Structure 1
Amino acid sequence: MLELSNVDGFYGRSRALQSVSLSVGKGEFVSVLGRNGVGKTTLLRTILGLMSKTSGSIRLDGSEIGELPTHRRAKAGLGYVPQGRGILPDFTVRENLLLGTYAAETSERRIQDYVFELFPILREFLGRRGGNLSGGQQQQLAIARALLSQPKILLLDEPTEGIQPNIVEQIEDILIDLNRKRGLSIILVEQNITFARRASHRFAMLNRGSVAVSDRIEALSDDLIHRYLVV
């Protein structure tokens, strides 16, 4: 589904991502782990074409997308939920959701009912401004907006960060169901090891902008966590 080969990502002249090779199969859930500042968000931004410069190969569903602008990558099937959610505060919930439909292959601008089945609160708040939602409600809105782009693979940057515990559990369960029941491929950047172990098929541990370890989730040992995650 998604394959990165020897990918570098640059902020100006500074290389922040170094020779990263990573693959995500169809219907696979992969967690990207590591301490703060090791390149996890940079990896997602590189996949999306949001860096100053990139090199290497990025293939989605067999097609090279590494030279495409960000909007073309979204149309090709990349959905993104950024750290901080990226909700437009002055737009209503309805308007934020409709933005997601512009990245879909279809020209139909309609909010599909299944996002309200996943996140019922959004139907109640369609006319409310995004900036007036709680953090957990904004995260639900951000995920729903990304799903409306009809992605082949969903990229999420710490979706449980700073959210009340009851909503965290709900979001975790929904992401697992999207993967297991709908077959949606997912790349998750996360600090919550319990969630990563429960949800993932595989993991990639980043260190200093490179993949230090990549393996099945069963191989995520306490020793690896201590070596690459404990501060």
Structure 2
Amino acid sequence: MLELANVDGFYGRSRALQSVSMTVEKGDFFSVLGRNGVGKTTLLRTMLGLMSRTSGSIKLDGEELVAKPTHERALAGLGYVPQGRGVLPGFTVRENLMVGTFAARGGGGRIAEWVLDLFPILKEFLNRRGGNLSGGQQQQLAIARALLSEPKVMLLDEPTEGIQPNIVEQIEDVLIDLNRKQGLTIVLVEQNIAFARRASKHFAILNRGSVAVGGAITELSDDLIHKHLVV
């Protein structure tokens, strides 16, 4: 479904992502792991066309995306939950959710009830401003907004970071159910190794902007974690 071949991503003249190749199959739950500063967020930004320059090939369902602007990549089926959530603080929950619908292939304007059912607190707070939600509630809003774009692939950048434990568990369970029960393809950047092991089918570990190792999640051994992930 999502294929990267020899992808480089640049901040100005600096090459931050180097010759990255990976394949994410339809229905996969693919975790991108690595220490801080190795290029995990850069990889997602490169997929979305948010870098100064990108080279190589990025294909979604066989469609080449590397020359397309970000909004066309969203319309092609890439959903995104950024690090820091990206909630519009002055917009209500309802208005934030409506923004997500504009990238839906069937046209925007309708908030699907099943998305609200995933996070009941959002239904209760539809008229509350996004900036007045807790961090965990904002993360739920960011995930719901991305789902309303009807993505083929959901890209999530550390969705459990800085969230209270009870909401972390809820978010983890929702993501696993979306993958297992609805077949949503997920690419997750995460430092929570326990969650990655529980949820993922495949993984890649980045180091210095390149893929150091990858494979089936059953191959993510304690030795690999100690070598590449332990600080």
* TM bucket, shorter chain: over 0.9
Contact 2:80–2:156 (CA<8 Å) still a contact in 1? yes
Report the counterpart of residue 193 of structure 1 in structure 2: 193
Amino acid at match of 1:217: I
Mapped to 1, the partners of 2:189 and 2:132 lie a distance apart of 26
Shift of 1:188: 0.2
Deviation sequence 1:111-165 (CA, Å, 0-9, x none): 0001111000000000000000000000000000000000000000000000000
Mapped to 1, the partners of 2:105 and 2:150 lie a distance apart of 8
Amino acid at match of 1:128: R
**Off by >4 Å, runs of 4+ in structure 1:** none
Q: Which moved more, 1:183-192 or 1:99-108?
A: 99-108
Report the counterpart of residue 143 of structure 1 in structure 2: 143
Mapped to 1, the partners of 2:208 and 2:227 lie a distance apart of 13
Report the counterpart of residue 208 of structure 1 in structure 2: 208
Report the counterpart of residue 82 of structure 2 in structure 1: 82
1:103 aligns with 2:109: no
Q: Which moved more, 1:213-222 or 1:104-113?
A: 104-113
Q: Give the % identical residues.
A: 78
Report the counterpart of residue 223 of structure 1 in structure 2: 223
Deviation sequence 1:169-209 (CA, Å, 0-9, x none): 00000000000000000000000000000000000000000
Shift of 1:32: 0.1
Mapped to 2, the partners of 1:51 and 1:227 lie a distance apart of 29
1:172 aligns with 2:163: no
1:184 aligns with 2:176: no
Q: In structure 1, the residue corresponding to 2:23 is in which secondary structure?
A: strand
Shift of 1:108: 3.7
Mapped to 2, the partners of 1:61 and 1:122 lie a distance apart of 32
Q: What TM-score results when the alignment is normalised by the length of structure 2?
A: 0.99
Report the counterpart of residue 93 of structure 1 in structure 2: 93
Report the counterpart of residue 42 of structure 2 in structure 1: 42
Mapped to 2, the partners of 1:101 and 1:205 lie a distance apart of 33
Mapped to 1, the partners of 2:116 and 2:99 lie a distance apart of 16
Amino acid at match of 2:142: A
Mapped to 2, the partners of 1:32 and 1:22 lie a distance apart of 11
Mapped to 2, the partners of 1:166 and 1:95 lie a distance apart of 26
Mapped to 2, the partners of 1:54 and 1:132 lie a distance apart of 37
Mapped to 2, the partners of 1:60 and 1:109 lie a distance apart of 25
Q: In structure 1, the residue corresponding to 2:163 is in which secondary structure?
A: coil
Mapped to 2, the partners of 1:60 and 1:157 lie a distance apart of 19
Report the counterpart of residue 20 of structure 2 in structure 1: 20
Deviation sequence 1:48-79 (CA, Å, 0-9, x none): 00000000000001111111000000000000
Q: Which moved more, 1:103-112 or 1:140-149?
A: 103-112
Number of aligned residues: 231
| Pairwise CA RMSD | 0.5
Mapped to 2, the partners of 1:194 and 1:217 lie a distance apart of 11
Structure 2: 5+ residue stretches without partners:
none
Deviation sequence 1:64-123 (CA, Å, 0-9, x none): 111100000000000000000000000000000000001111224100001111000000
Mapped to 2, the partners of 1:115 and 1:30 lie a distance apart of 22
Q: What TM-score results when the alignment is normalised by the length of structure 1?
A: 0.99
Structure 1: 5+ residue stretches without partners:
none
